[in-house]
Each structure stands twice: as C-alpha cells, then as structure tokens.
A and B are shown apart, each in its own frame.
Chain A
Amino acid sequence: MELSQQLLQQLINGISLGSIYALIALGYTMIYGIIKLINFAHGDIYMVGAYVGFFAITQAQVSILPALLISMVVTGLLGMLVEKLAYKPLRHAPRISILITAIGVSFFLEYASMYFVSPTPRTFPEVIDNVAFHVGDLVINGQQLLILGITVVLMAILTYIVQKTKLGKAMRAASFDTETAQLMGVNADQVISFTFVIGSSLAAVAGVLVGVYYNSIDPLMGIMPGLKAFVAAVLGGIGILPGAVVGGLVLGVIEALVSGFISSTFRDAAAFAILILVLLFKPSGLFGKNTNEKV
C-alpha cells in the first residue's frame, strides 16, 4: 500500500477509535463543567456499560439497538446512584477529597465487577454481519460504520438537549455558575443528577461499541480509555462539549498514526505526552480561555 493510502486507512481507524473517546470524553467534560470533578470512575462506568450490553445480548437475546438502549438506561442510573451516594455528600468538601473519592469509586467498580463477572475477559458476540467495504485499497468495516453512525446520532440528540430543552439550559447555567443558577431557580441537585445520567449513558454506548469493535471486554477495560478520554476532554478544553468531540477525534487519529507508523507500544505514551503538552502550553485546551485566581 502506498504511503498516502496507508495514511488514509489510519485516519479511518483513528476516527472510529476517536468517536469512542469522544463519547466518553463528553461525560467527563459535562461532569467537570458542572461540579469541577475529574470523575475517575467514568471509565469504569463505561466498562459497566459494556457488560450490561454484553449480558443483554447474550442472556436476553436482544439485538444491538435494544441492547444499547438497555445499557444506556441501566448505566445512566448507575451514574446517578454513584453521584448521589459518593459525591453529593462531599459537594462542599475540598476538591482533592472528592478526587480521592472518585479514585475509590473507580476501584470499587473495577473490583466489584471482577467479583461478580470474574476477571476473565469475555468474548463479545458478533452482533452485525462482518462486512467490509472496499474503496480502492481502503477498508471500512461494518463495525466502524456502526460506531460512526451511532456517534453522529447521539451527538445530534445531545446538542438538541443541551441547546433547546429547559433542562439543557439549566445545565449550561449551572456549569457557568452553580450558585447564581440556583438563585435563579435552577434545581442544582436535579441538574447534576441529569448530567450524570447523560454522561454515563453516553459512556455506556461507548462501552458496548468497543465490545462490538474489539470483541473482548474485561473488568479493567475502562482504565485506559477513561484516562484517554480525559486527555481528549482536556485537549478540547474541559467543560466545552464540542471540545470533547474534537479532542476525542484528534486523539484517536494521533493514536492510530502512532501505532501505524511508529509502534503500538508508544500509543499510550502519545496520549499522555499530548496531555502534558496541552497542560503546559495551553491548559485551557484548544477551545478554552484562561482564568486566574483573584488575589
């Protein structure tokens, strides 16, 4: 294959992977925007989503779309529950305390899942026909199309919710300034719960799609994608929704290029290197603006 073709192929792979990152990053960025918490457990929510989808398909014998919906609902509720039980009591605690709690929640979800579903990886069933479309020398497979299609649809729905609905407006107001929003009659608890539901259900979709794409899921699968989605959120500017999407796609493409042209072992290092470069040179991300503490 020629270099330019290889480049295009990696671009396609990168965008599929990047869509997954984008879906997880959206949850990160929404939650950070509203309660200023790096929800370390978000990657594990995504893992739970994958397992719920897996059991829906294998046990309840449903097809991929209902499985996605079931996973979104169950995982969305789990996200809400985590917030209510673990984060809400600490809403006025120092941020580091909440961060440590999030690390605790993350461990809990990982190892409780390990206890219930065993640490052995599960093979995700084939839910769509293994078709591959050839465009010249390029290959796009069915899973990739599924990922792209679902991601686009979900982004459209999310945009509608955030821009047009009353709850979406309340979310934006609360992420701008929670206290003022509360004074204006926004029910902060409700908005935060809602944010966790949406963020978690998007992560659930990402989890199921990853299962479809890579055919394998395990209780620790959420750690790396979780961290990388965080990198994507920071890259785009944390708290900014379009930023998370662009950040996810950029990160996916960079990773695909690194594994394709350098070495797949450096894939994870690339993500972290991007994170550090962004934090050092433009900590507010591609779409953000800087703020300083007032003296």
Chain B
Amino acid sequence: MNLLRRNDLIMLAFGIVVFAVLQGLMEEGIIGSFWKLNLMLIGINIIMSVSLNLINGYTGQFSLGHAGFMAVGAYVGVVLTTNFHVPFLGALLAGGAAAGFLGFLIGLPTLRLRGDYLAIATLGLGEIIRIVIMNIEYVGGAAGFRNIPHYTNFAWVFFIMLFTLFFIKNFVNSSHGRACIAIRENEIAAEAMGVNTTKYKIMAFTIGAAFAGIAGGLFAHNYYIISPASFTFMQSFIFLIMVVLGGLGSITGGIAGAFFVTFISAALANWPEYRMIIFALLLILLMFYRPQGLFGYVEITNMGIFRKILKRGGTA
C-alpha cells in the first residue's frame, strides 16, 4: 500500500520537474508567446479530454456536450471575478460546481438513453446551454463578455491539470471507478453485481462536467473577452477527437490526444482546412485499424521502464 503512495509521490515529483523546465524555458524566452499560449491550451485541453474520458471512455456513456459544461464554468467564473471580485480560485471552483450541478441535473433524465441517442441528446443540451447564454444580456449575449481580468497563467493551468489527473486516476482505480467500467462493459451484469448503474453514470457525468467547468474558468481568464461562439458543439467534437485518438478509457491516452490535437491545431493555424481534414482521416483510419485509440485501455505507467521505476504502478 505504501508502494502506491510512493508512486504518487514519484509522479508528483516528475510533474514538478516538467513544470520547472517548461516555466524556465518560458522565462528565458526559448518558448515564445505563441507556444506559451498553446502550452496553456494543451493543459486546459488535457483537463477537458481526461474528464470527458471519464464519461465516454471509462463509463461508456457517449457524451457530445462537453463544450456546454465548459461554457457554464467559464461564464460563472468570469461573472464572479469581473463583477463580484471573487478570488480566482473561488471563481474556478464555483464555475466547476455550477457545471457539475448542471451535469447532475441533465444527467438525471438523459442518462437513461443509450449509445447514439445519448450522444445526440447531449449534443442538443450543449447547444441549448450555449443558446441560452447567448440570450442573457447580463453576460453580453452573442457579442461576448468583456473586461475579464487576466488571471490564468501557466502555473495555475499546470497544477490544476495535475490535480485533475490525480483525481481521475484515483477515482478510476477504486471500487467507484470499477463500477463505472463495469457499466461500460456490460450494464446488465454490472447491475446484477450490485452496481447502482444510474448513480454511477450520474456520478461520472457530474465529475466530468465539474472538471470541464473548471477548465472553462481557466480558459476564460486567459482572454480579455469570451463569447458563446467558443463553445459550440464543434468544440465538443474536438474534445471527442482528443479522447478517441488517445484512447477511450486511458488517462495517458487523454493526455496524448489533447497534446496531439492542440499541437496540430497550432502548427496548422494558418491552414484550418488541412487541420480538420487530417483529424477526419485520422478518426476514420483509427476506427478501421485501432478502434480503441492509440493507448486503448493501457496506461504509460504500466509499460516497460515506468513499470520498473514505479514497481506495480497504478493499474488502470
């Protein structure tokens, strides 16, 4: 058991080293402002894809409304910091709580639906969220919300991302996480083994939505203005691409997917058509040859050298 704690500490130390190196490179100007912005986006997208993976990959509930929850977190966050001068952390948590609560409310009725029906219903709900925001004059409507204080920096993004990874990793490696995975594998058998399937679907959905909300807060405070146009279902599709490319049911995969998609998007920023054509072809080819995604259900901590360093690493 102490081995597991030790592994967490090793991972934490590794994370801090990565942070220090990146931060140093930024301060030295070796990583310029364009890539600095994209590193932050990668961090935010990792939170989005890993939290979406909890719903889609681990619990097997196909959600296409993740951008909607991000929008809720973003708007609650900016209203609190801009209009009420709430401290940043408080605003982030409130945004996460609001998104989580909405996820809970939405999940309660919709998670009875299966497969493609759930996908379409969540897509619709995400759009409804966006359209409602667009019609609230208080937050600037379609024109967007202005004068947001610039609170987000690389440290905030990195450490909240690290916390998200630990949270989700610990969750899926527990009896609660196994209950979610059992639902994905065979809902009827899961129920017969004593898993309250409704409860765990909603739990996964709520946790996923809450982290999307926090990511939304981080995202919003990185800009002077945000508008509902940043949170369309096309954006939800992008998060889905990250999860599917990386691996449905793998945290490593979620990280890799977020990294890859954000990186390609940045590198091809001037040729947006190519970017989407590449993603589209990748999605199709992946479904043909490796439908479980690059990492499938595997975690990097269970591979070769990592396994040696970590002894019996956190099993997925």
Contact = CB atoms under 8 A, between A and B. Distances in A.
Contact of A115 (B113, B277, B282): B277
B151 interface: no
Given A89-B288, A93-B291, A266-B135, A107 B128 contact: no
B117 A279 contact: yes
A97 B291 contact: yes
A115 B272 CA distance: 10
Contact of B131 (A95, A103, A106, A265): A265
A38 B277 CA distance: 21
A293 B186 CA distance: 12
B117 A269 contact: no
A2 to B, nearest CB: 28
Contact of B280 (A104, A223, A272): A104
B17 interface: no
Interface in B134-181: 134-135, 142
Interface string A99-122: 111011111101110110001000
Contacts of B117: 234, 279, 283
A295 B188 contact: yes
Contact of B273 (A96, A111, A269, A271): A111
Contacts of A89: 288
Interface string B267-306: 0000011101101111110011001000000000000000
B287 A98 contact: yes
B125 interface: yes
Size range of the interface on A?
35 or more
A231 B120 CA distance: 9
Contacts of B123: 227, 272
Chain A, interface SS category: helix
Interface string A69-90: 0000000000000000010011
B62 interface: yes
Given A101-B287, A269-B127, A269-B131, A107 B119 contact: no
B243 to A, nearest CB: 10
A276 interface: yes
B110 A280 contact: yes
B118 to A, nearest CB: 9
Chain B, interface SS category: helix
B109 interface: yes
B24 interface: no
Contacts of A145: none
B32 interface: no
Interface in B207-262: 234, 237, 240, 244
Contact of B287 (A93, A108, A263, A269): A93
A115 B277 CA distance: 9
Contacts of B283: 100-101, 103-104, 107
A101 B113 CA distance: 21
A275 B121 contact: yes
A263 B142 CA distance: 14
Given A108-B281, A268-B131, A272-B127, A95 B273 contact: no
Interface of B: 62, 109-110, 112-113, 115-117, 119-121, 123-125, 127-128, 131-132, 134-135, 142, 188, 234, 237, 240, 244, 272-274, 276-277, 279-284, 287-288, 291
10 contacts: A38-B120, A90-B288, A100-B287, A104-B281, A107-B280, A111-B274, A269-B127, A271-B124, A272-B123, A279-B110
Given A98-B287, A115-B273, 17 more contacts: A38-B120, A93-B291, A100-B240, A100-B283, A104-B281, A105-B280, A107-B237, A107-B276, A114-B273, A223-B234, A231-B124, A269-B128, A269-B131, A269-B132, A272-B128, A280-B113, A283-B117
CB-CB nearest 8 A-B residue pairs: A272-B124, A104-B283, A107-B280, A108-B280, A111-B276, A104-B284, A269-B131, A101-B287
